[in-house]
Amino acid sequence: MQYRTLGRTGVQVSTLVLGAMNFGKLGRTNQDEVTAIVDAALEGGINLIDTADMYSQGESEEMVGRAIAGRRDDIVLATKAGMPMGDKRDHRGSSRRWLVTELDNSLRRLGVDHVDLYQIHRWDPTTSDEETLSALTDLQRAGKIRYFGSSTFPAYRIVQAEWAAREHHLSRYVTEQPSYSILQRGIESHVLPVTQQYGLGVLAWSPLASGWLSGAVRAGREITTSRSTILPDRFDTTLPANRARMDAVEQVATLADEAGLTMIQLALGFVTAHPAVTSAIIGPRTVDHLHSQLAAADTVLSADVLDAIDAIVAPGVDLAAHEKFDTPPALLDPALRRR
């Protein structure tokens, strides 16, 4: 396992992060399976676990808490807030009112007195940067969080938050967690240059592109990845974007064979090769899945292989741009751009 410094924090983290989104009812994993995955991840050198309050509506945090009991000090523990937690008004977003309440809920579910990294799951257009950053700064000073970060923020919102922190003399985001893979390279154009400029650590999610790059999705075969039942449109090969992805996947598979690597090793090695990226977040549902991904822990791709990937999917290009989660609200709602 390789280790890198998380932004400017001085904290050393593994280049593979254990993501806990599949823990609980979403991934159909029980506590014994989760504990086995966590055990194997720690034995494999992973020292950062990333979860969120909304993963199976708190069940993931509870399972992670049970799995790490008695060894908290050996783990860099990260969670997130901001996505809806049920249907009640204000049980979402990044207001002071919600963040203070929901952090306590997360700490209770995790069974800990602090988290190392608390992340805003999505940019909240209804809440000012000053409101969010002041709440996070106070929680940091209270010892409930060590650092805080953003997730899937557009580049201009990362910049705005940095300037808001300076203007109001508040602590700043130290990490960003964007979606990044061979098939979704859009962040190379805007987000990664900004994170490098401001010295943010980058924890890349979906490096296997929801299973497209796991080897489970190939031309002429039945698609068996679990994501195909949850997000069927993302795997409907009658859609142009998915046909483009399938073409790219076949070329990636050929390249991996030629390089003597699995597709997973190639995909994860690509993400961690970018100088702006600290770690790639993996989300195994089984111990076998984990071991296939841990095999990429020390993968270093040659310049020739990286150049070949560029020829398959050009730098800065998203093959499925419509699946991005950082689109400005005015582009999604006509009323916001025409009023």
pLDDT given for residue 149 in this prediction:
98
pLDDT band at 43 (very low <50, low <70, confident <90, very high): very high
Q: How many angstroms separate the CA atoms of 270 and 45, rounded?
A: 20
Total count of domains within the chain: 1
List the catalytic residue out of 55, 147, 173, 180: 55
pLDDT in tens, 251-297: 999 999 999 999 999 999 999 999 999 999 999 999 999 999 999 99
DSSP assignment of 49-85:
EE--TTGGGGHHHHHHHHHHTT-GGG-EEEEEE-S--
Helix pair angle (287-294, 263-273), 10° resolution: 60
pLDDT in tens, 118-138: 999 999 999 999 999 999 999
- The structure tokens listed for 75 are 């783990």
Does residue 214 belong to any structural domain of this protein? Answer: no
Q: What is the mean pLDDT of the chain?
A: 94
pLDDT given for residue 334 in this prediction:
83
pLDDT at residue 24 greater than cutoff 70 = yes
pLDDT band at 227 (very low <50, low <70, confident <90, very high): low
Range 20-27 average pLDDT: 94
Does residue 138 belong to any structural domain of this protein? Answer: yes
Does residue 253 belong to any structural domain of this protein? Answer: no
Does residue 124 belong to any structural domain of this protein? Answer: yes
pLDDT given for residue 226 in this prediction:
64
Place of tokens 């966590």: 38
Range 25-43 average pLDDT: 96
Range 217-241 average pLDDT: 75
Provide the residue range defining the domain that includes 142. 3-208+263-299
Does residue 96 belong to any structural domain of this protein? Answer: yes
pLDDT given for residue 230 in this prediction:
67
pLDDT given for residue 339 in this prediction:
60
- Which amino acid is residue 21, in one-letter code? M
Range 185-213 average pLDDT: 96
pLDDT at residue 77 greater than cutoff 90 = yes
Mean pLDDT is lowest, of 30-44, 183-197, 220-234, 240-254, for: 220-234
Q: How many angstroms separate the CA atoms of 51 and 174, rounded?
A: 17
How distant is the alpha carbon of residue 31 from its chain centre?
22
CATH number at residue 99: 3.20.20.100
pLDDT given for residue 228 in this prediction:
60
Does residue 250 belong to any structural domain of this protein? Answer: no
Q: How many angstroms separate the CA atoms of 168 and 329, rounded?
A: 26
Of 64, 98, 92, 94, the closest CA to residue 79 belongs to 64
pLDDT given for residue 140 in this prediction:
98
Range 210-237 average pLDDT: 77
Q: How many angstroms separate the CA atoms of 177 and 334, rounded?
A: 28
Angle at 260 between CA 256 and CA 262, to 5 degrees: 50
CA separation, residue 130 to residues 110, 144, 160, 307 (Å)? 28, 19, 10, 42
Catalytic residue status for 55:
yes
pLDDT at residue 162 greater than cutoff 90 = yes
pLDDT at residue 224 greater than cutoff 70 = no
pLDDT band at 52 (very low <50, low <70, confident <90, very high): very high
Are 154 and 181 in contact by the 8 Å Cβ rule? The answer is no
